[in-house]
């Protein structure tokens, strides 16, 4: 019972002290708070008297409560109206704004990275795409004419040079006709495609510069391997296939094929036609022999044989030249229009 009264008294003391503090702040009379405090102290003393087993710590607790009340009172005097501090929301707002500000930048960046459509279907500089084209005409061993962007356009083969066939200054050079004929055979053997390099697309004569393919096989490399062309006109950055072309040329040199069969004919600056003319072997004239007079012989009567009307058929110019090395003219039994590529009424001429 004493313990209960003591605890209740302690509570009254604390209530009284808080009341004193509140009334002090509100500037109200302190009589009621003083009465509560007094009653509380009286109940604590009564409880101790009735039950001496109450721990002295209760008194210490009461004293600490008094000290706390005094400190609070002094604090209230210094700052009678404490202001609640709002949570720090400024930083998250700034971060959220930063995220919103970066969104338009990201959209703009994505828009700039969108690939730009090509001006035409053959705009492929810098790629290894093969573009199918239509042949118009074969000019010589390293030049053809095609349909490009809706118009006829000459194409000069990149990185190679073949002897001339009908140059206004150089005339016809050795192996010029062979290179042209081989080019004709290759171009007509399958699907014609071209490929551009990363550099300029036109030369000073307004000719397209390209790599030529038939059914995916390089025409330039074939001409080099067979000794009908030399590596030339190397202008970076249009040098994508320079290494394999030089290797193909080296093989033809070692085997002395075509232009390499004539010493000092093919050079780094072109084809030395004068050197070939000077080294052309001279065939000695046969001695004139006067035959002894022969006894007159009666000539037999020969019945004219009518000219055969049957035609001779050859699969290609290579087969035809085995029998007629210099080709045949129109009207000859072996003449075929498909072998007369240049339309000069003479098939498989050299």
Catalytic (active site) residue 169: no
Of the residues 76, 185, 207, 312, only one is catalytic, namely 207
- 3-state DSSP of the chain: CHHHHHHHHHHHHHHHHHHHHHHHHHCCCCHHHHHHHHHHHHHHHHHHHHCCCCCCHHHHHHHHHHHHHHHHHHHHHHCCCCCCCCCCCHHHHHHHHHHHHHHHHHHHHHHHCCCCCCCCCCCCCCCCCCEECEEEEEEECCEEEEEECCEEEEEEECCEECCCCCECCCECCCCHHHHHHHHHHHHCCCCEEEECCCCCCECCCCCEEEEEEECCEEHHHHHHHCCCCEECCCCCCCCCCHHHHHHHHHHHHHHCCHHHHCCCCEECCEECHHHHHHCCCCCCCCCCCCCCCCCCCCCCCCCCCCCCCCCCCCCCHHHHHHHCCCCEECCCCCCCHHHCCCCCCEECCC
Catalytic (active site) residue 164: yes
Catalytic (active site) residue 207: yes
Of the residues 156, 182, 230, 240, only one is catalytic, namely 156
List, by residue number, the catalytic residues. 156, 164, 207
């Amino acid at each position: 019972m004493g313990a209960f009264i003591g605890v209740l008294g302690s509570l009254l003391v604390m209530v009284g002290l808080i009341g004193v503090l509140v009334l002090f702040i509100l500037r109200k009379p302190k009589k009621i708070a003083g009465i509560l405090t007094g009653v509380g102290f009286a109940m604590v003393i009564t409880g101790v008297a009735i039950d001496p087993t109450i721990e002295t710590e209760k008194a210490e607790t009461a004293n600490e409560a008094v000290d706390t009340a005094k400190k609070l009172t002094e604090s209230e005097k210094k700052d009678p109206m404490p202001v609640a501090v709002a949570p720090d929301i400024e930083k998250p707002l700034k971060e959220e704004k930063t995220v919103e500000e970066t969104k338009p930048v990201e959209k703009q960046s994505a828009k700039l990275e969108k690939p730009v459509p090509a001006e035409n279907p053959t705009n492929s500089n810098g790629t290894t795409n093969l573009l199918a084209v239509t042949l118009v005409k074969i000019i010589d061993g390293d030049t053809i004419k095609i349909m490009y962007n809706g118009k006829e356009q000459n194409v000069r083969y990149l990185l190679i040079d073949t002897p001339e066939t009908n140059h206004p200054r150089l005339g016809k050079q050795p192996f010029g006709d062979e290179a042209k004929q081989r080019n004709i055979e290759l171009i007509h053997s399958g699907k014609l495609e071209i490929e551009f390099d990363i550099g300029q697309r036109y030369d000073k004569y307004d000719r397209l510069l390209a790599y030529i393919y038939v059914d995916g096989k390089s025409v330039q490399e074939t001409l080099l391997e067979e000794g009908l062309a030399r590596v030339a006109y190397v202008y970076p950055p249009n040098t994508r296939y320079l290494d394999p072309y030089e290797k193909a040329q080296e093989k033809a040199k070692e085997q002395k094929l075509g232009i390499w069969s004539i010493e000092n004919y093919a050079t780094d600056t072109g084809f030395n036609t004068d050197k070939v003319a000077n080294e052309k072997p001279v065939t000695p004239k046969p001695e004139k022999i006067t035959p002894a007079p022969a006894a007159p012989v009666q000539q037999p009567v020969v019945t004219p044989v009518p000219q055969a009307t049957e035609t001779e058929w050859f699969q290609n110019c290579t087969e035809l030249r085995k029998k007629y090395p210099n080709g045949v003219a129109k009207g000859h039994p072996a003449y075929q229009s498909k072998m007369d590529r240049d339309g000069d009424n003479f098939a498989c001429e050299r």
